Structures are given as structure tokens and as C-alpha cells.
Amino acid sequence: MIVPVILAGGVGSRLWPLSREQFPKQCIQLVSPEHSLFQDTVNRFASLPDVATPVVVCGEEHRFLMAQQLHDIGVAGRIILEPSGKNTAPAIALAAHWVAEEFGPDAIMLVAPADHVFTDPSGLLRAVSSAVQRAEQGGIVTLGVKPDRPETGYGYIKVRNDADAQGCMSIDEFKEKPDAATAQAYLDSGEYLWNAGLFVVSPKAYLSALVQHAEAIHQTTAQAFAGRTTDLDFIRVNAESWAQCPADSIDYAVMERINNGYVQPLGAGWSDVGSWASLKEVLPHDANNNVTHGDVLLRNTRNSYVHAETVLTTVVGMDDVVVVQTDDAILVAHTDDTQDVKHIVETLKKQHRTEYEKHLTLYRPWGWFKRITQGDRHIVNKIMVKPGHRIGAQKHMHRAEHWVVVRGTAKLIGEHDTKLITENESAFIPVGQIHSLENPGKMPLELIEIQTGSYLGEDDIIRVPLS
């Protein structure tokens, strides 16, 4: 049995302003017009023989996003929630404890980041199948990508000249991201592969390696998993035990210390899409080597990436640039400097600006709402409620609300009565009135919400039970 383990805990700050803390890059349709990077990752492994539904490891704050992403592609995976980020070694340990219990200690885990791209998925699946054979013999196998350029943004793996019939080789050592001259030397030697962060290993082999080389991680994750609770598809581990767990990567905690580590070479057109420049390289180009998305008009522009979310975006007489437009932010950068976008995000965070954290569209378990405009005493939102879902009962002490249904049927639930509101009808919610909203229909409910009052902060939401 092969169990995909999808690591979905990253934020992807280098792909700001599309990727944000509350809606990270793995949830965005960056490559496929129909699926997010996370959904592509899940679908990619579905054709493997004897494969189980995936287990996803993510942070508490992204649980509903991940659940909705799975639901939208018809996959019923389990989701393990990390109370806080601890890097890959503890995250994989949680999955290993779960897989060992559900499928047995000799099942094979295919550990993959949620946000990578493969332009040749069949090559990936062939490499995985070869790696499985070594993992079934007790090895811990990572997939290494054959480099085609002296890349300084990736870590490297030095391999030994002992390939088996499937091309799987022993690991000699791991190397950090090199400078340009060192990267060129690695490429010229033919002895190095890019470290892609994918692993094929049984729970027994991985947990045994932790016992030997990172006992604190093994002990604390075992305690956290033993103290878990289950809520629908979510597995919540014990937060107190988890807080005691060291934070470390699988490379440092395990792979650099073991003697049963192997690497399976991989072609497959791999990219970690870690920056706008790397994303541009995996997308179709026009005759001038430009990549565009949305309503874009270019003139005398070459080797550029231009992404427009909501408005016409034009670029004239510029080469090697990245331009990304969203509702509330615009990024303009030279292609060579896109790795430094993360510093913009760090500055926004230090300045306590919301643009690093969330979009104007915010996703909730029941649907989403989008800020349209805001003034001193008013806010206008567009709200979508999924069929069969409901916004919890609440009241506000400083604002009134006016709702206009533009699509579907809304059930307005008050403290003493309930009424239906259909398209082109409206309802007024006075200050202090308890109310809840439900979509009883079979299609998404869309409405415009107008908030008015002396104070419009999110903390003026008082959750209350309905009798």
C-alpha cells in the first residue's frame, strides 16, 4: 500500500501578493486553469497502483481551506493539524504514526510538498515506483532532480556511483544552496542532484531513524499523536506535547545521519515554483518569451511575467520584469530579484499591514466574503454561502446590516422568527439584533452586505446561541 503524505504547511511568501498567510500558494491555480497546486499534487498520485487516499499535514489556520480543496476534487483524505509549525521532520513523524496505525508499519509513505510542479508527471510516477522497491527493503529514499543549470536557489545531494538496476544510488552527502561558481562545479561533475524534498519510506523505517538520531522528535510526536482528538476529517494532536517537540527538517534530523539513505534520480520537469521567476519557466511562453494571465496588454516587452487579477494591466518597453496585480496590491520586480519578494512581506508584517496576511476575499467554512469598498461609516461586502451551509448566530452593538440577495435563496434566522429572502429582495438587521444566515438551496447563495455604523471592526461580532 502506498499512502501519499502531502505536506501543506508552507506560506510561499516569495509569491506575494497572490500567496498570503491565510491563502497560501498551494491553494492557488498558478499552473492549471482548473486546479490549485495542492489539488494537482493530490491528483498526480491517484494513478499509482495500490494507492490510498492521501493524508494531509497542515496548520490549524488552513484546515478548512484544505478540506474544501479536497472536497472540490472529490477526495476524502484525512487532515492532521499541526498546532504550530515545526518543520518537516515532526510533520512527517505525525503522518508516520497515523499510517502505521491505519495501514501497518510496512506501508509505504510517499511524502510530497503540496506546491511543486511536474511538467512530466509520468516521469515522476516511474521514479516513485522505482523508489518504492528500495523502501520496501527498509531504505529511506529521496527523489533527486537531475540539474540542467547551475541553480543557486536549491540544495544539492552528492551521490555515490553505486546505482542499482532502477538507478537508485546511495547518498554521499547533502549540500546547502551554493554560490554560482560552486553550483557550476556541481553541474560539471555530474555527481550532484537537486534536493526536491520528496521521500519514499515506510513508517517503520522513518520512526526507527528518529529513535536513533532524533529521539526527542520521536517521543514528543508519539505523545502528541497518542493524545489526539478527531473532529470530522481533522485529527488534532495534543498541543502541550507538540509544543515540546524540537523544530527540524527531515534532512538535518534524519537524512544526513543515516546509513540507509538513497536517492532516486528524477527528470519529470520539476520545479518548486519558489519564486515568480521559477513559475514563469514552467508556463507556456509567447513569441517574445512572455507569460501573461488575465487582462494584459504588452508592447515592446520581452522575457516577462505579467499577472492581472481584476483590472487591465499594461506593460510598455520593459524586459525581464514581473508584474502582479491583485485587488489590494501590485508587485513590480526585475526577474533576477524575485527571490527578494519575501523581504517585502517581512516589512509589511513588521508594519502590521494586513496585505501580507490576507486578501480582500476571505474564505470561511461556509463560503467566502469579499470587501468591495469601505468608508468611515460603511463597508460593502459580497458574500457567498455554500449550499446547505450557515453563518453562525451573532449580533453587533455598533453597526446595522442591510442584505440584498443577488443569487439563490437565503434563510434569515432571527431570535424569534425565520424568513426566506429570494433574489432581488433584501433584509435589514438593526443594531443588537441576533441573526444567522443559511443557504437552504442547491446553488451558491450570493448577496451584497452593507454595514453602517460608528464602529465597523471585526471584534464587534458577538457569537450567541439561537433558542
Task: Provide the pLDDT for residue 2.
Answer: 96
Mean pLDDT of the region 326-341: 94
Mean pLDDT of the region 252-274: 89
Whether 108 and 141 have beta carbons less than 8 Å apart is answered as no
Mean pLDDT of the region 133-158: 91
Bridge partners, residue 109, by sequence: 3, 201
Q: Does the structure show a pLDDT above 70 at 466? A: no
Whether 235 and 144 have beta carbons less than 8 Å apart is answered as no
Q: Does the structure show a pLDDT above 90 at 460? A: no
Residue 199, SS3 per DSSP: strand
Task: Provide the pLDDT for residue 152.
Answer: 86
- Phi then psi dihedrals of residue 12, to 5 deg: 70, 50
Read off the pLDDT band of 465 (50, 70, 90). Answer: confident
Residue 250, SS3 per DSSP: helix
The crossing angle, in degrees rounded to 10, of helices 215-226 and 203-213 is 130
Rounded distance, CA 130 to CA 420, Å? 59
Contacts of 376 (CB under 8 A, 6+ apart): none
Which of 112, 114, 110, 111 has the alpha carbon at shortest distance from 37?
114
Rounded distance, CA 237 to CA 57, Å? 11
- Phi then psi dihedrals of residue 211, to 5 deg: -55, -40
What are the cell numbers at 105? 508499519
CA 397 from centroid of its chain's CA atoms: 36
First to last CA, the chain: 49
Contacts of 230 (CB under 8 A, 6+ apart): 236
The structure's pTM equals 0.85
Read off the pLDDT band of 200 (50, 70, 90). Answer: very high
* Strand positions, DSSP E, 326-377: 330-334, 361-364, 367-374
Helices (H), 260-340: 276-281
Q: Does the structure show a pLDDT above 90 at 121? A: no
Read off the pLDDT band of 12 (50, 70, 90). Answer: confident
Read off the pLDDT band of 122 (50, 70, 90). Answer: confident
Whether 168 and 262 have beta carbons less than 8 Å apart is answered as yes
Query: What would the pLDDT profile of 397-439 be if each residue is shown by its tens digit?
Result: 999 999 999 999 999 998 788 999 999 999 999 999 999 999 9
Task: Provide the pLDDT for residue 417.
Answer: 86
The crossing angle, in degrees rounded to 10, of helices 88-103 and 215-226 is 50
Task: For residue 444, say if its preceding peptide bond is cis, omega within 30 degrees of 0.
Answer: no
Query: What would the pLDDT profile of 82-120 be if each residue is shown by its tens digit?
Result: 999 999 999 999 999 999 999 999 999 999 999 999 988
Task: Provide the pLDDT for residue 274.
Answer: 87
Query: What would the pLDDT profile of 202-220 be if each residue is shown by its tens digit?
Result: 999 999 999 999 999 999 9
Domains 2-271 and 361-463 share a fold: no
Mean pLDDT of the region 40-58: 93
Query: What would the pLDDT profile of 360-404 be if each residue is shown by its tens digit?
Result: 888 888 888 998 998 989 999 999 999 999 998 999 999 999 999
Where in the chain are the domains?
2-271, 282-349, 361-463
- Strand-strand pairing, 117-118 and 291-293: unpaired
Least confident of 166-170, 180-184, 315-319, 419-423: 166-170
Tell me which of 2.60.120.10, 3.60.70.12, 3.60.20.10, 3.40.50.300 is the CATH number of domain 361-463.
2.60.120.10
CATH for 2-271 is 3.90.550.10
Bridge partners, residue 453, by sequence: 399
Read off the pLDDT band of 269 (50, 70, 90). Answer: confident
